[in-house]
Each structure stands twice: as C-alpha cells, then as structure tokens.
Amino acid sequence: MKPINPAQLHALSSAVLSDVMDSLGLVRRALRPFVRPIDDSLVMVGRARTGLYMPTYALRENENPYEVEIALVDDLQAQDVVVLACNGPTERIAPWGELLSTAAQARGATGCLTDGLVRDVKQIRAMGFAVFHGGIGPLDTKGRARMVDRDVPVECGGVAICPGDIVFGDIDGVVVIPKAHEHAVVEKAIAKVLGENNTRDALRKGESLAQVFQRFGIL
C-alpha cells in the first residue's frame, strides 16, 4: 500500500487523531502536555527523523559535539520532522535554535519536535518554521549534551517514536501515528471529522446535545 502523504493531514487535528488512536487501541500516542509550540498558529505534519541525546559534563579535547546533529540535519528531506529526544523536561539540554531551523527549512523539513529546550524564539517565529519544545532557554548543548545516535527508535515527551512515523502537532499538542497503522488512523480520522461537522451543524440549529449525541455518537 502506498505511504500516506503527510501534507494531506493538515485538515485534521491532534484531538481527532488522538481520539481515533484511542479507539484503535493505540495508547500513549500523545506527548506530555509540557511540550508546546513556539507559534500557536502553525500546524506541523511530517515523517519523524530522530536524534537521541545524552547529557555530558565536559568537552573532550578536539571533540566536535555537533557531529551527529550536523549529519542528521544535512540529510533531511522534504516533509521530514526532526525529533530530538532529550529525556525531558530538562533544564540543561537545548538542542535547537535559529540556525538549525534555517538549515532544516531549506531542505524542505516541516518542523522540529523536542522535549528539550529551544532558543532563538523570535527569529524562528519570524521564519514561520514549526517548532514544538519542552521549554525555552538560552543554553547551548556544547559541554552539556550531545546527540549520540540518529534515525533510531526514541522516546520523546513520553511517547515512543520510530523513524518514519507521522508526527502531527497543533495548538492542542502533538500526536504520533505509528507507520504500521497510518492508513487505518487517517481513514478513520477523516470519517470522524465529517461526523463532527454534522454534529456541529445540528447543534447550531438548536438540537439538544443528547439528541445529537444519540444520532452521531460524537462529542
């Protein structure tokens, strides 16, 4: 079966996708609520490209602490979402900022998700690049953390994420659709949106909530 184009999901929402995955028994697919967008108006949808961070407390002589990070960003493709797992929330690991956003956006990536900190918020907002973060702080990762592996399964914000999973973020939060279940999730989500539209129309016409729920089963 042909993979789903993530761009087709923009008409959906994290709430709808979360409900659908619950109904399919796909639990713990929504990131913890401390992960928030830099810009509430932006929607982020794309395929996960993961990076795994570990804390460090010193810098080795002649070490390039950005080596794996640079390799990941330079390898990004259109509709990728960078996923940086920092075992957050954290007060010391800030792996993302303006320059990495610029490089990622130039390669067609659609956003960055991290449970670590981010910085350069003003500049990233001006770029219109979607970033979902576990906090804001001015720290560099140099001497505090480094990416030890990329394109491997990680846990970010309490959710297991594999490379190629679909990451969806909006003002309500971030959900992750496992690649193996994406067709079932998206098909059911589209149907749910249609049902919600019918429910909304009926409520606007003055029908009681009880009547509408009995007819459509959506709340």
pLDDT at residue 219 greater than cutoff 80: no
Position 108 confidence tier, pLDDT thresholds 50, 70, 90: very high
Our count of domains for the chain comes to: 1
> What's the CATH number where 97 sits?
3.50.30.40
Instruction: Let me know if residue 211 belongs to a domain.
Output: no
Instruction: Let me know if residue 149 belongs to a domain.
Output: yes
pLDDT in tens, 121-175: 999 999 999 999 999 999 999 999 999 999 999 999 999 999 999 999 999 999 9
Q: Which pLDDT score is estimated for 195?
A: 79
Q: Give the mean pLDDT of 68-89.
A: 98
Instruction: Let me know if residue 48 belongs to a domain.
Output: yes
Instruction: Let me know if residue 29 belongs to a domain.
Output: yes
Q: Which pLDDT score is estimated for 70?
A: 97
Q: Which domain holds residue 125?
A: 6-179
Extract the tokens encoding 131.
Answer: 């970033």
Extract the tokens encoding 28.
Answer: 């713990």
Instruction: Let me know if residue 144 belongs to a domain.
Output: yes
